[in-house]
Amino acid sequence: MSTISSMLALARAGFVLAREGVISELPDDLLPGPGRFAKKAAALIARKGVASSARADRLSAALNRLGPSWVKLGQFLATRPDVVGKQLAHDLENLQDRMQPFSLEEARQSISGSLGVPVDTVFENMGEAVAAASVAQVHKAVRKRDGAEVAVKVIRPGVRNRFRSDLNTFYAAAQFQEQHLPATRRLRPVAVVDMLAQSAKIEMDLRLEAAAFSELRANTLEDEGFIVPGVDWELTGRDCLTMDWVDGIKLSEVDKIRAAGHDLKKLAATLVQSFLRHTLRDGFFHADMHPGNLFIDAQGSIVAVDLGIMGRLGRKEQRFLAEILYGFITRDYYRVAEVHFEAGYVPHHHSVSSFAQAIRAIGEPIHGQSAETISMAKLLTLLFEVTDLFDMETRPELLLLQKTMVVVEGVARTLDPEFDMWRTSEPVVADWIRHHVGPAGLLEDAREGLHAARRTARLLPEIADRAEILASQLADMGESGVKLDPETVEAIGASKARRTKWGNRALVVIALIAIVFAFNGFS
């Protein structure tokens, strides 16, 4: 029954996307032969006048119409151009996550249920929502114990159940894709949905976002010009998050920032250098730094909010990023190539010299350009294209980094059209290189090696026990072979038959439902 409901949900989603003119605008290179036929058929279902809208606006309208889970799916896929293609990922980057707010009474009930106390005992003067998105909305209130103004973020009622239901649909689509579209199996659609499920679980538990605020704030307390609001843990639970209220101007309101007398060039430099410090120094960065999530306070500091999506880089990825950026800054392309091989990102059967030659083809044209036309985000995009030619595997954490850098660089250029990305980045990158490469880096590597050796030594008895058990099992298999009992063989055969049967039925069901929806749409 769940399979049928998932198919119905998929058919409805396909109809909504077709009606909003999204399917008819999909790039042909993303579609197999039958998909290109469906694209032509979808054009017949599209609403009148929809063709005059930009493709990104159509996509935003369709996903918002489908509901919070689909908006979240779109935001997630914006970070995976390797899965959906560059054009579609670019459209999804501009997805407007603006949902109708739920009532103040529902918010109060949710807060009371999460904190275990009546709302009036902890907050007063709580107003209607000041911002509403797919997963949660924000209210301004006054904390009763000290009279301080606070922001209270509240999970949307029913969003978890709705997401669990829609997740079954996403899995059905991914499994269908893996079974019936062999050319797309390399994209591992089921694994992509697994990542979305994990990401959404984190985002829908506001205690985890509170932890992100706490960690980023601790990392940046000494950083000039960048502020993270404090969290009130006493008034934070799974469904609500209480933090310091931010009085400021959104970074998207450039004219207001200028009128307030702030230095736009300095703000652009602070934004980019802060992002690079968080990435290189801390390995923990805000991965949703669009202008709506950044404010400028009265002192001219950047204040970051909405930490539902965060990125992490391990030590290897931090070194990789710092050394490739520094290599491009200093035009040491051979070193950039070596770093890829040392990190294990490019298979060793390729030539370092040939790879360095390909990287030079990216770097040299950039050094001949004026400052305002040099784009670090574009450089990383070109770099990943070249590494793809050399069999570099997809690195989701680096793709998220690249996507965030595109956004940060874009925001910086709205503040300062003549922004020099390289000159601004060099102090931060060079400082990281100075402290982590060379003698200081060798000492740090040695310390990490000693820690790893100590951990391994503690595990040696357990490893020895497991090795002995494994050796015994292998010896038994060598003497008697591997056997499957009749029930197992029968179960394998039945499972294969069911998959084939349901795959064929699914194709028929989807086709019939699409026809029904189409006729209903015209009637």
Catalytic site positions: 288
Residue of 134, 161, 174 whose CA lies nearest to 6: 174
**What stretches of 233-293 adopt beta strand conformation (E)?**
240-244, 249-250, 284-286
Helix (H) or strand (E) run with residue 136 in it: strand 136-143
If 0-12 CB within 10 Å is exposed, 13-18 middle and 19+ buried, where does residue 428 land?
Answer: buried
Would you say the C-alpha torsion 246, 249, 253, 257 has a positive or negative sign?
Answer: negative
Q: Report which residue type is found at 358.
A: A
- Token representation of residue 274: 């802060």
Burial label, 343 (beta-carbon count in 10 A; 0-12, 13-18, 19+): middle
Torsion angle of alpha carbons 99, 102, 104, 109, nearest 10°?
Answer: -130
Long-range pairs of 175-183 with CB within 8 A, sequence gap ≥ 24: 176/503, 176/506, 179/499, 179/503, 180/503, 180/507, 181/32, 183/32
Q: Would you say the C-alpha torsion 107, 110, 111, 112 has a positive or negative sign? A: positive
Residue pair 397/313 in contact (Cβ under 8 Å)? The answer is yes
Q: Are strands 226-227 and 302-304 parallel, antiparallel or unpaired?
A: parallel
DSSP conformation class of 278: I
Whether residue 303 contacts residue 452, with contact meaning beta carbons closer than 8 Å, is answered with no
Q: Which two tokens stand for residue 153?
A: 């973020």
Pure H helices in 181-205:
189-203
* CA-based nearest residue to 521, from 46, 50, 57: 46
Q: Check residue 280 and report its DSSP letter.
A: I
Neighbours of 291 (CB within 10 A): 16
Q: Can you tell me whether residue 186 is helix, strand or coil? A: helix
Strand locations in 226-341 (E): 226-227, 240-244, 249-250, 284-286, 294-296, 302-304, 310-312
Alpha-carbon distance of 399 to 496, in angstroms, equals 36
